[in-house]
Chain A
């Protein structure tokens, strides 16, 4: 069989399978492009915009752009990383993120990417939105303060669990996550602790009760390993090529 088609990512060849997007192919090749709303098991969403790259001089979200042979893609540039840092800063000031007291600290992708991009301050004024927590479910806590609106839980609940437990409502800065039940409370919804939606939150919104801090802060996934070096961990499984 002939050699797989490739595109250039920051000057180096990246092979891809037909149907793969730029981000999928890059991750499969062990190349990191920062991302938050992308998850290998779900259709690309393209909303966080962290994975924005320059494609033939134009901006494109690498998670949604199908790879084509010969494309010239740049990602690790100062300009793009400056933009990514600013995007992360926007997410930090939009919600209420207090890393030191967050159960997700060290396992949080938002925090990990912020460290990786060298973000030292949120820079902009905080919005301090009023987002009450939902503790109505016996096993699950929802802390909306940390929501970055990636919709992974929405997608997981709809596409894997078949339950539509989560949805989005509102517009602009009023956009928010809602729960599918008459009361609007998680305790009255069809969610269960074994749902896929429980395991996809990149930040600390969806938490299991009574298991907090099982691993001490300092010993967690991203505490000593920058997220950019564990990119392969998020890589989708690519069908093995037959020789």
Chain B
């Protein structure tokens, strides 16, 4: 593995060597310890490597044995409690043994619309498995993952980290047969794991015939009279008015320039490849078919801000892309496009390392992502300071979306004027839209900014559409009266998710699903989000069970306001939106479930007697209370 320049590496390795003298490694290595040592040999013995070491341990052992965590703590010089704390933060890491085959069904709303619930039941039935538990023989465990990023070819699942898309009854039976026969995954038919490319409409991002190095050469050619290339690159990105494609829409050039002005070195370029917003999968497509463009954009950014360190934070669900991405990086090093003296330019040293996430939506938030890169729990940071000032290990850092880097590379290649000639006044360029849900042609569509929702619906073959969730659960729910609206920063901001619902769907249940999503993904740092999201999910459940009242709608509205105004980060701020939006647009879906009277007691007195009735074998009127008698 390529060794990156490391801040403080001397101090850290010195401390680690002292720790080893104080606590010499035990003479007899157990199997788990050997796995730990191999992972640490690969990643290095610094605390920043904790998450990657844990992830490799999980991959090899299917869980994180207690003794192995002790060894990791000792080798990395960390408190054991911190190692356990990180291990318990990420969904894909397990402190208890999982099955030899660990199956995680994607639990996105589109997976459910495509029948994932029934398919999971079918698998559990065939394998004699109980959801969330390991079978008695230790063979298999079946559970849920929030969103695997395959809604265009769902339902989908992960088996030992590898995706199986396009599930149907037949595929489930095939999987069950392979599992019961204890066939190793490498011997499974390759077709099971094939993720299809579903690009339906190509624009420059998905079709530019850029050759590796083209954008860099174009950047070098922009050198000013003094031979400086950094400022011309920054100027071009600023002039292009490139806005962040992850959804927040911050001006990329301004972000880069402010980072480039910081004195501290080295500076850091981070690519946010953690697209966890349910319904989004456009970065999957870019990382699959345009990996060179992504790397080219990151390298251009490094040139612009004067960075030496680069990271791709790849979401754990996309772990299957790791090998192909590593191959691209290796080839680019051979081509002189990464490493030292890039493109023959003395002093331009930059390389990229890939860190893989482990199942946590909040890590898509830039500062939480940086915390995760540092090997910690993914908790969004307080600002100030901004990441551009103090980011990864306190170094000046830029974090941008995969698509943003692709656009940046093309801007440097073709110029700001070319970029601004497409799109709207305030939203230059094109946008990748991930279309899923009730339509004939789900997939990735690249449109100039300003495209109407109606146009996308027509192109993807959506019929009898009642709603579109634009931007995923944290975005905007639109009803039929709003399909004239435009996807652009002036109107509908979106990270790219576009989930279509037809008249057969119940928008209350959609909102209830999203409420559970946010409750499950809240990092738990701040009070409103930690408790508020769970309360919303519980109230929605109560309404779903027919026990809700007008009082609950009032409580949800107040909770939603609190989440919006007091939350620590965007997750909490948006967590109440699906409920607020569907209440505005689909209120009857709520009201028909409500009880007629104002307040329903939380405690069901007669229900509490059910156990006593069972024990006494009574069910006569005298054994019931009130209305139930």
A, B co-complexed = yes
| Residues on the A chain within 8 Å of B532, using CB | 90
Contact in complex: A149, B81 (CB < 8 Å): no
Residues of chain A lying within 8 A (CB to CB) of residue B59: none
User: Is A172 touching B533 in the complex (CB atoms < 8 A)?
Assistant: yes
CB-contacts of A147-188 with B (<8 A):
148-149, 164-175, 178-182, 184
In the bound complex, residues from chain A placing their C-beta under 8 Å from that of B81 are 164-167, 169, 178-181
Q: Establish whether residues A173 and B85, one from each chain, have CB atoms under 8 Å apart when the complex forms.
A: no
Which residues on B sit within 8 Å (CB–CB) of A66? Answer: 384
Contact A86 B562 (CB under 8 A): yes
- The answer to whether B522 and A59 touch across the interface, beta carbons within 8 angstroms, is no
CB distance from B220 to the nearest CB of A (A): 41
In the complex, what residue of chain A is closest to B561 when comparing beta carbons? A83
Given A169-B89, A171-B88, A178-B81 in contact, is the A90-B528 Cβ separation under 8 Å?
yes
Q: A66–B384 Cα gap in the complex (Å)?
A: 8
Q: In the complex, what distance in Å separates the CA atom of A96 from the CA atom of B528?
A: 18
Q: Which of A24-44 contact B (CB under 8 A)?
A: 44
| B residues in contact with A46, CB < 8 Å | 382, 526, 568
Interface status of A213 (Cβ within 8 A of chain B): no
Q: Is A228 engaged at the interface, CB distance under 8 Å to the other chain?
A: no
Distance from B132 Cβ to chain A, minimum over Cβ atoms (Å) = 14
Say yes or no: B538 contacts A149, CB within 8 Å.
no
User: Do A87 and B527 form a contact, CB below 8 Å, given A46-B382, A167-B82, A171-B360?
Assistant: yes
Q: Find out whether the CB atom of A127 lies under 8 angstroms from the CB atom of B79.
A: no
Which residues of chain B come closer than 8 Å to A44, judged between CB atoms? 382
Whether B534 sits at the interface, judged by CB under 8 Å, is yes
Instruction: Write out the residue numbers on chain B whose beta carbons fall within 8 Å of the beta carbon of A107.
Output: none
Is there an interface contact between A52 and B84, defined as CB atoms closer than 8 Å? Answer: no
Name which of A87, A173, A178 has the most chain B CB atoms within 10 A of its CB.
A173
A-chain residues with CB within 8 Å of residue B538 when the two chains form the complex: 125
Bound state CA distance, A178 and B532, in angstroms? Answer: 23
* Contact of B565 with A172 in the complex, beta carbons under 8 Å: no
In the complex, chain A residues whose CB is within 8 Å of the CB of B567: 49
Contact with A along B368-395 (1 / 0, CB 8 A): 0000000001000010100000000000
The reply on B16 being an interface residue by CB < 8 A is: no
Does B535 sit at the interface, judged by CB under 8 A? yes
Residues A59 and B565 in contact in the complex (CB < 8 Å), given A47-B525, A94-B531: yes
Q: Which of A83, A125, A164 contacts B79 (CB 8 A)?
A: A164
Tell yes or no: B343 within 8 A of A by CB: no
- Bound-state CA distance A160–B445 (Å) is 55
State which residues 486-532 of B face A: CB under 8 Å. Answer: 519-528, 530-532
A167-B82, A167-B84 known; A173 and B524 CB under 8 Å? yes
Per the bound structure, the CA–CA distance linking A172 and B242 in Å amounts to: 34
Q: Smallest distance from the beta carbon of A54 to chain B beta carbons, Å?
A: 9
- CB-based contact A127/B566 at 8 Å: no
Contact B82 A49 (CB under 8 A): no
Residues of chain B lying within 8 A (CB to CB) of residue A164:
79, 81-82
Q: Looking at the assembled complex, report how far the CB atom of A190 sits from the nearest CB atom of chain B, in whole angstroms.
A: 10
B80 within 8 A of A: yes
Residue B70 is within 8 A (CB to CB) of chain A in the complex: yes
B602 on interface, CB distance cutoff 8 Å: yes
Assign chain B's interface to a size class: 35 or more
* Interface flag for A231 (CB, 8 Å): no
B603 to chain A, nearest CB (A): 9
Complex Cα gap A149–B524 (Å): 9
B96 in the interface, Cβ–Cβ < 8 Å? no
Contact A47 B80, beta carbon cutoff 8 Å:
no
Does B555 count as interface, using CB distance less than 8 angstroms? yes
Is A197 in contact with chain B by the CB < 8 A criterion? Answer: no
Cβ-defined contact, B562 with A168, below 8 A: no
Task: Select from chain B the residue with minimum beta-carbon distance to A84.
Answer: B566
The complex places the Cα of A66 from the Cα of B531 at a distance, in Å, of 27
A93 B80 Cβ-Cβ under 8 A: no
Complex CA–CA separation, A178 to B69 (angstroms): 15
Q: How many angstroms from the CA of A76 to the CA of B408 in the assembled complex?
A: 46
For B565, list chain A residues within 8 Å (CB). Answer: 52, 59, 83
Instruction: A168 to B82: give the CA distance in the assembly, Å.
Output: 7
Is the beta-carbon distance between B566 and A173 smaller than 8 angstroms?
Answer: no
Contact A171 B523 (CB under 8 A): yes
Contact with A along B71-91 (1 / 0, CB 8 A): 000000001111011011100
Asked if B417 is at the interface of the complex by the 8 Å CB criterion, the answer is no
Which residue of the partner chain B has the closest CB to A125?
Answer: B602
Knowing A44-B382, A164-B82, A172-B523, say if A182 contacts B70 (CB, 8 Å): yes
Is there contact, CB below 8 Å, between A171 and B522?
Answer: yes
Residues on the A chain within 8 Å of B534, using CB: 127, 172-173
- CB-CB contacts of B551-577 with A at 8 A, as 1s and 0s? 000010011011001111000000000
The contact string, 1 if C-beta is below 8 Å from chain B, for chain A 75-95, is 000000001001100110110
The answer to whether A170 touches B524 (Cβ under 8 A) is yes
Residues in B whose Cβ lies below 8 Å from that of A174: 88, 524
Q: Please, which residues of chain B bring their CB within 8 A of the CB of A168? A: 85, 377
Report the separation of the CA atoms of residues A93 and B532 in the bound assembly, to the nearest whole angstrom.
11
Q: Which residue from chain B places its CB closest to the CB of A127 in the assembled complex?
A: B534
C-alpha spacing A168/B519, complex, angstroms: 18
- Interface residues as binary, B340-378 with A (CB distance below 8 Å gives 1, 0 otherwise): 000000000000000000001000000000000000010
Q: Which residue of B lies closest to A158 (CB)?
A: B79
A94 touches B530 (CB 8 A): yes
Interface string of A10-29 (1 = CB under 8 A from B): 00000000000000000000
Q: Which residue of A50, A61, A83, A124 has the most chain B CB atoms within 10 A of its CB atom?
A: A124
Neighbouring A residues of B530 by C-beta, 8 Å: 94, 149, 172-173, 175
| Complex interface: chain A residues within 8 A of B80 (CB) | 180-182
Residues of chain A contacted by B70 (CB below 8 angstroms): 182
Contact between A49 and B523 (Cβ–Cβ < 8 Å)?
Answer: no
| Chain B: minimal CB distance from A113 (Å) | 12
A64 close to B (CB within 8 Å):
yes
Q: How far is the CA of A79 from the CA of B70 in the complex (A)?
A: 48
Q: Are A83 and B566 in contact (CB under 8 A)?
A: yes
Check A47–B526 contact: CB distance below 8 A: yes
Of B79, B519, B535, B559, which one neighbours A180 at CB under 8 angstroms? B79
Complex contact A49–B522 (CB within 8 A): no
6 contacts between A and B (CB under 8 A): A61-B382, A87-B527, A125-B538, A171-B377, A174-B88, A175-B530
Closest 10 CB pairs of A and B: A175-B524, A180-B81, A167-B81, A90-B531, A164-B79, A169-B85, A172-B522, A169-B88, A64-B382, A49-B566
New A-B pairs, 13, CB < 8 Å, besides A83-B561, A171-B360, A175-B524: A47-B568, A49-B566, A49-B568, A83-B562, A90-B528, A93-B531, A167-B81, A167-B84, A169-B87, A170-B524, A171-B522, A175-B530, A182-B70
